[in-house]
Chain A
Amino acid sequence: MIKPVIDVVHLYARDMNIYGDRGNILTIMRRLEWYGYDPKLIEYNPGDIFPEDADIIIGGGGQDSGQSKIQDDLLSIGPKLINLAENGTPMLMICGLYQLFGKFFKTSTGESIKGIGLLDIETYGKSERLIGNIVTHSQQFGDIVGYENHSGQTYLGPKVKPLGRVKIGAGNNTDDDSEGAIYKNVIGTYLHGSLLPKNPAIADFLIKQAVTNKYGKFNHSEIDESLTQVARLVAIKRPR
């Protein structure tokens, strides 16, 4: 039997890929396989032709040097990404690309780096680095566990909702208890860890949206989550 194909795009696989970002890709790929689909991984790098049939788009964080390498390219594909997002394509952007999916990143020296404005968020570089284990809560996904490591602080505008509310840790900024942002099926967050292996509810949300967009319905078997559940419980109890 030919399995239905899902195209998974890893945005800037070369330059924005740090702290276990590949764990998110791997989780999407494996779970699609376990659900009976045929995932195809497409690595997108600056200058490539943007894949026409992107079903899920995943992007990660990077060094400052990585961000400067992709910035122009990102602005050039921005309109395509916005169009896909408006049409319901699921996306997950971690840390650096979460920031650049917003309106701008203002560095601590006052320089403003333009984002694509897909997410109604603004980020400001600060001297303090927010580092440590983090637990947030979302009505949709339950407790979300991960690890944050960022000096940019992000503030949400009215068009996005927070992904979660911080229970332990810092989150988007040091002023409110929001963490991450969600707009249509696009999720941005500071959580590494990697995020998706220990938060399969988010992985399955992205998968379900992608499959439903393409095939109308999402048929799936159950995955044994017993290891995941214990790993989550341990993570929640660890010191910051």
Chain B
Amino acid sequence: MPKKLVTIIGKAVKSAARLRGGGSALPGMVVEHIDPNFIKQTLSTLPLGTVIVSGTNGKTTTTKMVVELLEGQGLKVFTNRTGSNFTRGVAAALLGDININGQLKADIAVLELDEAHAVHFVDKIPPRYCLILNVMRDQLDRFGEIDHTAKLLEHVAQKTSDTVVLNREDPLVAAIASKLSRQNIRYFGLSPELVDIFPSDERLHTENKDISNNQLPTDVLLSRLVNQTATFEFDNQSLTADLEINGIYNIFNAAAALSLVRAVMGDKLNLSKLTSSLEKITPAFGRGETIVVGGQKLELILVKNPSGFRLGLKSFDPSDYKTMIAINDNYADGRDMSWLWDVDFTSLGATGVDIVTGIRAYDMALRLQYDKVPFREVNPDIKKAVKKFIDYNKNSPKRIYCTYTAMLSIRRLLSKYTKIEGVIS
């Protein structure tokens, strides 16, 4: 079928799907069905090729960082912005950005793909660059085991034609380098002083803290972090930036994004523009976003696995804040509650937790009880809990740790019954 016709059909399905409400993958599915080479043909025309961002934690915000940093350098970037991080989502996003002749007006594509989808994607479309963030205990009931996840990411790296950016501090990710021969390898990493506040799963389970790979040279090193001011080091120079993004894990991933952007731009990199774009980046939807409700800040922190939850608790000081925790166990959250027992909640002991909610509120409350963390109320009904949380704590800034589907409900609720200023999405 001619490409023009495929494009027209796809675009028609996309507007139909939008009218129906949502369904970002459906038009992509239609196009993939009619023309399996659609994505490949379209992406192969890009002068700077394709970048894949993968790993278990922080893909969405990191992808957003890479895109905005490259845009700050003057490139036109195509990305699967809706976070529909699989092949059909990419096809669907393409449909929105191509013209009727099927041409994509962009210099480079930056795609977020989870490991299970990336592994198939790279067989069809080998990327020029890939960035591998981490391998953490995430969605294990979907993918089986961590070793398996690492193998998938290794395959993604092997299919990459030019440069692979790896996390030096994650032993499973750093080990991928030994399986690569033709690619340029760049590591992002942490200074020894910062390593301790970024526990990987591996490090968490051992008393021997000396398993970091810090003898490997880094391309970009996060060397200092004081509140929101971060210093990154590369090429014997340093870049200090006051960041909007919060959460130390996001800030570490900024080092990853910087390394990737350095690889893409080479000697054309404009350092002052890099700093100014970096300072402007805000977190992706639901990943540490701040909403103002009744004149008080309300932070939504997405937690989906033990490492993410631990890092969240380390990143955000609970004093002065009222805390709510919302735990669902829908398919998208993962059904297994074991992960809550791999998180140490004792840092909430002094302030306590105001309300515990979600389908598995009682599992969470039980978890807090075993860590001797007090809580005011357990209420599995998210709607009631959010209302109570806001009504009861009118004069305090608030923070909600929530799993993915709980976050979706909470955002919906907040936009419905309170006046929301400055929703960042």
Q: Which residues of A are interface residues toward B (Cβ below 8 A)?
A: 13-15, 17-23, 26-27, 30, 43, 63-65, 129, 131-133, 147, 149, 151, 192-194, 197-198, 227-228, 230-231, 234-235, 238-240
If A20-B341, A227-B378 touch, whether A65 touches B363 (CB-CB below 8 Å) is: no
Q: Return chain B residues, CB-CB under 8 Å to A63.
A: 145-147
B338 touches A19 (CB 8 A): yes
B141 touches A235 (CB 8 A): no
A32 CB to closest chain B CB, in angstroms? 12
A127 to B399, alpha carbons, bound, how many Å? 43
B338 touches A192 (CB 8 A): yes
A68 CB to closest chain B CB, in angstroms? 11
A227 touches B337 (CB 8 A): no
B366 touches A231 (CB 8 A): yes
B329 touches A20 (CB 8 A): no
Question: Is B32 among interface residues, defined by CB-CB distance under 8 A?
Answer: no
A22 to B141, alpha carbons, bound, how many Å? 18
A109 CB to closest chain B CB, in angstroms? 16
A234 touches B207 (CB 8 A): no
If A22-B342, A234-B360, A234-B362 touch, whether A149 touches B141 (CB-CB below 8 Å) is: yes
If A22-B342, A23-B341, A197-B341 touch, whether A239 touches B335 (CB-CB below 8 Å) is: yes
Could you mark each residue 325-338 of chain B with 1 if its beta carbon is under 8 Å from any beta carbon of chain A, else 0?
00001000001111
CB-based nearest A residue for B145:
A63
A13 to B208, alpha carbons, bound, how many Å? 12
- Given pairs A19-B140, A194-B341, A231-B365, 18 additional interface contacts (CB within 8 A): A14-B205, A14-B207, A17-B205, A20-B341, A20-B342, A23-B338, A27-B370, A65-B147, A131-B141, A132-B141, A132-B335, A149-B336, A151-B144, A193-B338, A197-B341, A197-B367, A227-B362, A228-B366
B335 touches A235 (CB 8 A): no
Q: Return chain B residues, CB-CB under 8 Å to A19.
A: 137, 140, 336, 338-339, 342
If A14-B205, A197-B370, A198-B366 touch, whether A20 touches B145 (CB-CB below 8 Å) is: no
A18 to B370, alpha carbons, bound, how many Å? 18
A13 touches B205 (CB 8 A): yes
Question: Is B58 among interface residues, defined by CB-CB distance under 8 A?
Answer: no
CB-based nearest B residue for A64:
B147
Q: Return chain B residues, CB-CB under 8 Å to A65.
A: 147
A30 touches B140 (CB 8 A): no
Q: Return chain B residues, CB-CB under 8 Å to A231.
A: 360, 362-363, 365-366
A14 to B340, alpha carbons, bound, how many Å? 18
A191 CB to closest chain B CB, in angstroms? 10
B339 touches A20 (CB 8 A): yes
Question: Is B181 among interface residues, defined by CB-CB distance under 8 A?
Answer: no
A147 touches B337 (CB 8 A): yes
A98 to B268, alpha carbons, bound, how many Å? 58
B338 touches A20 (CB 8 A): yes
A30 to B147, alpha carbons, bound, how many Å? 32
- Subset of 14 A-B contacts with CB under 8 Å: A26-B341, A26-B370, A27-B370, A147-B336, A197-B366, A197-B367, A227-B362, A227-B365, A230-B362, A231-B360, A231-B363, A231-B365, A234-B362, A238-B329
Question: Is B359 among interface residues, defined by CB-CB distance under 8 A?
Answer: yes
Q: Return chain B residues, CB-CB under 8 Å to A64.
A: 145, 147
CB-based nearest A residue for B142:
A131
Question: Is B380 among interface residues, defined by CB-CB distance under 8 A?
Answer: yes
Q: Return chain A residues, CB-CB under 8 Å to B145.
A: 63-64
A15 to B207, alpha carbons, bound, how many Å? 11
Instruction: Give the one of A17, A131, A231 with max B CB within 10 A.
Output: A231
CB-based nearest B residue for A232:
B362
If A19-B339, A147-B336 touch, whether A234 touches B380 (CB-CB below 8 Å) is: yes
Question: Is B236 among interface residues, defined by CB-CB distance under 8 A?
Answer: no
Q: Return chain B residues, CB-CB under 8 Å to A197.
A: 341, 366-367, 370
Could you mark each residue 143-161 of chain B with 1 if its beta carbon is under 8 Å from any beta carbon of chain A, else 0?
0111100000000000000
CB-based nearest A residue for B337:
A193
Question: Is B369 among interface residues, defined by CB-CB distance under 8 A?
Answer: yes
A239 to B359, alpha carbons, bound, how many Å? 12
A132 to B335, alpha carbons, bound, how many Å? 7
Q: Return chain B residues, CB-CB under 8 Å to A14.
A: 205-208
A198 to B367, alpha carbons, bound, how many Å? 10
